[in-house]
Amino acid sequence: MSNIKRILDVMAALRHPETGCPWDLQQDFKSIAPYTLEEAYEVTDAIERGDMDDLKDELGDLLLQVVFHARLAEEAALFSFDEVVDAIADKMIRRHPHVFGDDEAANTETNADTVRQSWEEIKAEEKAAKGKAAPASLMDDIPVTLPGLSRAIKIQNRAARMQFDWPDIEPVFDKLAEEIAEVREAVASGARDAMEDEVGDLLFVVANIARHLKIDPEQAIRRTNGKFMTRFKHVEALAAQSGKDDLTLEELESFWQIAKKAEKNET
């Protein structure tokens, strides 16, 4: 028995209407969608921590989500797991003519940018072949469920296709200063909606800086979150050692600086 058949059989048993698992039998596409997203994030977390044993486990958890969705679809006579596999294999071959195409296509000079452009053109052709009208706007098919900063990057990249983009990063820094000033004005006004709007504008510009630097803002903020948590735990330990119940902000800041120095010494 192949490994993939084994997990397909396990899922079929879990979904058996008479002998299956009560929890699994209650699930549908919408109810397990949050778990699918969570498992994708856990794969990313394992990669960023460099934990390959954990990555192996998390990839298995993510695969289970694919198998689960495919099982639900098969039960509803929509499509099977094999059809999912065939569809993605066909798509990869179709969208990589420089790898799988004829000799002329395979010998065409390519780089990451030309491959990306070709990918988008082929995607558009696929939609047309399926009878799907091209989006009225470049913005129309950007998933609303993407994390905010990732969606901002996608929006900005789409706008850049029409050359609606700064040629380099310097004007983006000017825009950042402008948005910070507008956040200050909104705070001074006390208007909650204005503050939310201006903070959103500020984050959008920060995402644009990340895009110009070719940095994934989601990865960057995850890295900073992890760094803050590590340092804060050090602050907590120092605070406990001090034996004081009420520490001033200045005292906590001194602990923070100690934590930063300890971090540098460890690296």
Q: Is the CB of residue 259 less than 8 Å from the CB of residue 235? A: yes
pLDDT in tens, 186-217: 999 999 999 999 999 999 999 999 999 999 99
pLDDT at 1 exceeding the cut of 60: no
Q: At CB < 8 A and 24+ separation, what contacts does 253-257 make?
A: 256/231
Rounded Cα distance between 102 and 118, Å, is: 16
DSSP 139: T
Categorize the per-residue pLDDT at 267 as very low, low, confident or very high, splitting at 50, 70 and 90.
low
What pLDDT, on the 0 to 100 scale, is given for residue 105? 60
Burial class (CB in 10 A: 0-12, 13-18, 19+), 211: buried
Domains and CATH numbers, the chain: 3-94 (1.10.287.1080), 97-129 (no CATH), 148-215 (1.10.287.1080), 219-266 (no CATH)
pTM for the complete prediction?
Answer: 0.71
Q: How confident is the model at residue 21 (pLDDT cuts 50, 70, 90)?
A: very high
What is residue 145's predicted lDDT score, i.e. its pLDDT? 86
Q: What does pLDDT average to over the chain?
A: 92
pLDDT at 103 over 70: no
CA–CA separation, 144 and 214 (whole Å): 22
Give pLDDT tens digits for 65-102.
999 999 999 999 999 999 999 999 999 999 888 888 87
